[in-house]
Structure 1
Amino acid sequence: MNATDFIVARNDLQECSFIETKLPDADSLPLEALLVKVDRFAFTANNITYAALGDQLKYWQLFPAPQDFGIVPVWGFGEVVASRHPSVAIGERLFGNFPMATHLVIEAADVSKRGLRDAAAHRQGVASVYNAYARVAGNDIYEGRNGDYQALLRPLFMLAFLVDDFLDENDFFGSRRVLLSSASSKTAFGLAHLLHARKQICVIGLTSAANADFVRSLGCYHEVVLYDEIEMLQTDSPAALVDMAGNGALRARLHRHFGAAMKYSGRIGLTHRSFSPDEPGLPGAKPTWFFAPDQIRRRARAWGPGGVDQRFGAAWSSFAPTLPARLTLIEGRGPEAVRKVYLDTLNGHIPPAQGHMLSLLD
């Protein structure tokens, strides 16, 4: 039997194709390794960010590909179809970071009742979350539609949770207004949901005219402002910017408009592919990248064992019930369905109200 991988050119993300490789026999797997069939995975604009930053943030090294190509990481589910680990049985279901492929070999380590990690040498040097797999068989929160929401939004909502916590930890840098660019993105509206619960914070969503109705329908922004209208925003009180778009020209406009009133400028995502560096000497707070692993480590020390999971779980429990009214889930199976959703997402043709669950298996 063969495995199928979806690969993209690292210097031209429009170029994509499929390759087939021979699956290893169970007896030829390394000791304690697992062969996992990738059942289904989520695909969002966040995966395009993984590809766009693949070299800088080492995402390409997670899943080796031919020279000058890469395999985009995705969040999803897999089934163990062969195992050489005594504590992991065939049929075990895993949730975690997978390649856009039909199969993955995992060198299982740190196996516990709750999960395991991939100890493959080429996967080290990235944040540990990308190598961790939850054992989810029989867990209702990972079954059916609940599982789809986990794959689509749990990793993004974790980022939103950490940004919300970071802002709160720093008393919002003296501001009571938070501006979110690319307000229709799934990370942004997860963050807006959390910020909206903080009664003293005004949440302002910045978006395009095409996405404005969707952003208003989410119900978690106090104000929705089109990109063409940002110079109409009041500048008489401090503001904090959480930039999901990664558009340097937009960020410069906001800094010039708010001037010294821009008390924080955090760069989070890259939903606009027209990425450009910051202009020198922008007024207001210097734009800085928010690095989630640093916040996790700091909070893990402060909150003790299980503290991050407990607090995140409570936040997710308030967010998940809102998703059926906010998102339409669409399933796609087979190579051509995967290619189409990838290219449509890359080129900005996916409506923000859609969430896609895919599989390379026919």
Structure 2
Amino acid sequence: MNSTDFIVIRDDLQQCKVIETQLPDAAALPADTLLVKVVRFALTANNITYAVVGDRLKYWQLFPAPDGYGIIPVWGFGEVIASKHPNVAVGETLFGYFPMATHLVIEAADVGKRGLRDAAAHRQEVSPVYNAYARVSGDPTYAGRQGDYRALMVPLFMLSFMVDDFLAENDFFGASSVILSSASSKTAFGLAYLLHKQLGIRVIGLTSKGNVDFVTSLGCYDEVITYDRVTAMPAAKPVAYVDMAGNSALRETLHRHFGAQMKYSGQIGLTHRASDADEPALPGAKPVRFFAPDQIRKRAKEWGPGGVDRRFGAAWAGLAPLLPQWLEVIERHGPSAVSEAYLDTLQGHIPPDQGLILSLFE
């Protein structure tokens, strides 16, 4: 059996193609190994960020590809089509981190009632969250359209949730307003939804002119400002900046505008991928990169077993009913459709009110 893999040139993400790779014979799989069919997966700007930082954060190691190429990790659903693990049945549905491919071989370990882990040696240098798979067969919250919204939003909303938690834990660094760039992005509006519930915090979204109506319609930003008007914001009160865009020029403009009133400057994403290698020292708080797995590990210790999941589950239960109003799920099938969707996402051509659910199967 072959797998169809969607691969990109690691240092030129515009270059992509589909290849066939040989999978091990199902009957000859090693003990505890699973052969999983990748049924469907979400593709968002966050996956482009995975590719941009793939070397630095070891994402390219997760799913090996030919020299110079990489397979971009995505969140989605897989069906176990062959199993050599006594406690994992053929036909089970798994939710987790998959390659942009039709199949994945998993070395199942730590198999429990709710999940399992891929113990493949080449996957062990990343955060454990990326090697964990939830066993979701029969769970209605992972089925159908609800499952699609989970694939699109849960990984991003976990990031939103941990940023909100980090800011609240630090009393918002004394800021009375939080400014979010790329306000139309899924991570940003998930965070805005949470921040909007924080007493005394004003939530300001920065976006392009074309996205103003969408961002305003979400109802979780107190103010929506276009990028060309950021210096018109009053600069007398303390602010925190959550940078979803990774745009150096915008960051410098905001720091120089707010000066010492810039109390926190956290870089979350790289949707614009316009950061300079050598940035000048800026007024206000020193820009820092926020890495969600660090905050997750910290809270896992402090909140105890299941503590993160319970709190996140409560937050997700509030957000989930809103998603059908905010996002239209667009399904695309087959290698050509996946290539087109990938390039559209890379170039920023996907409208913010759409969520892509893809499959390499026709």
Tell me whether the two structures share a fold, i.e. TM-score over 0.5. yes
Distance 1:311 1:275 in 2: 34
- Which shows bigger deviation, 185-194 or 207-216? 207-216
The TM-score with structure 1 as length reference comes to 0.99
| DSSP-derived class of the 1:235 partner | coil
Equivalent in the alignment of 1:113: 113
Q: Which runs of 4+ in 1 moved over 4 A?
A: none
Equivalent in the alignment of 2:212: 212
- Whether 1:223 and 2:223 are equivalent positions in the alignment is yes
| DSSP-derived class of the 1:255 partner | helix
- Over 3 Å counting, the alpha-carbon distance change for 1:29 and 1:4 in structure 2 is same
Distance 2:314 2:71 in 1: 33
Equivalent in the alignment of 1:304: 304
| DSSP-derived class of the 1:63 partner | coil
Q: Does the CA contact (< 8 Å) of 1:79 and 1:93 recur in 2?
A: yes
Structure 1 residue 278: deviation in Å? 5.8
Over the matched positions of the two proteins, sequence identity in percent amounts to 70
- Which shows bigger deviation, 117-126 or 19-28? 19-28
Equivalent in the alignment of 1:19: 19
Distance 1:210 1:121 in 2: 45
Listed one character per residue, the Cα deviations across residues 84-135 of structure 1 (whole Å, up to 9, x for unaligned) are 0000011011000000000000000000000000000000010111000000
Structure 1 residue 160: deviation in Å? 0.2
| DSSP-derived class of the 1:225 partner | strand
Question: Residues 95-134 of structure 1: matches in 2 within 5 Å?
Answer: 95-134=95-134
- Whether 1:91 and 2:91 are equivalent positions in the alignment is yes
Equivalent in the alignment of 2:332: 332
Which amino acid is 1:101 matched to? A
Equivalent in the alignment of 2:56: 56
Which amino acid is 1:333 matched to? H
Question: Residues 27-42 of structure 1: matches in 2 within 5 Å?
Answer: 27-42=27-42
Equivalent in the alignment of 2:272: 272
Question: Runs of 5+ in structure 2 lacking a partner?
Answer: none
| DSSP-derived class of the 1:86 partner | coil
Structure 1 residue 301: deviation in Å? 1.2
- Whether 1:351 and 2:351 are equivalent positions in the alignment is yes
Structure 1 residue 22: deviation in Å? 2.0
Which amino acid is 2:103 matched to? H
- Over 3 Å counting, the alpha-carbon distance change for 1:278 and 1:328 in structure 2 is farther
Equivalent in the alignment of 2:141: 141
RMSD: 0.8
| DSSP-derived class of the 1:19 partner | strand
| DSSP-derived class of the 1:330 partner | strand
Equivalent in the alignment of 2:256: 256
Which amino acid is 1:117 matched to? R
Which amino acid is 2:6 matched to? F
Distance 1:319 1:111 in 2: 30
Equivalent in the alignment of 2:240: 240
Distance 1:281 1:53 in 2: 23
- Which shows bigger deviation, 274-283 or 85-94? 274-283
Distance 2:226 2:69 in 1: 37
Question: Runs of 5+ in structure 1 lacking a partner?
Answer: none
Structure 1 residue 198: deviation in Å? 1.1
The TM-score with structure 2 as length reference comes to 0.99
How many pairs align?
362
Which amino acid is 1:218 matched to? L
| DSSP-derived class of the 2:337 partner | helix
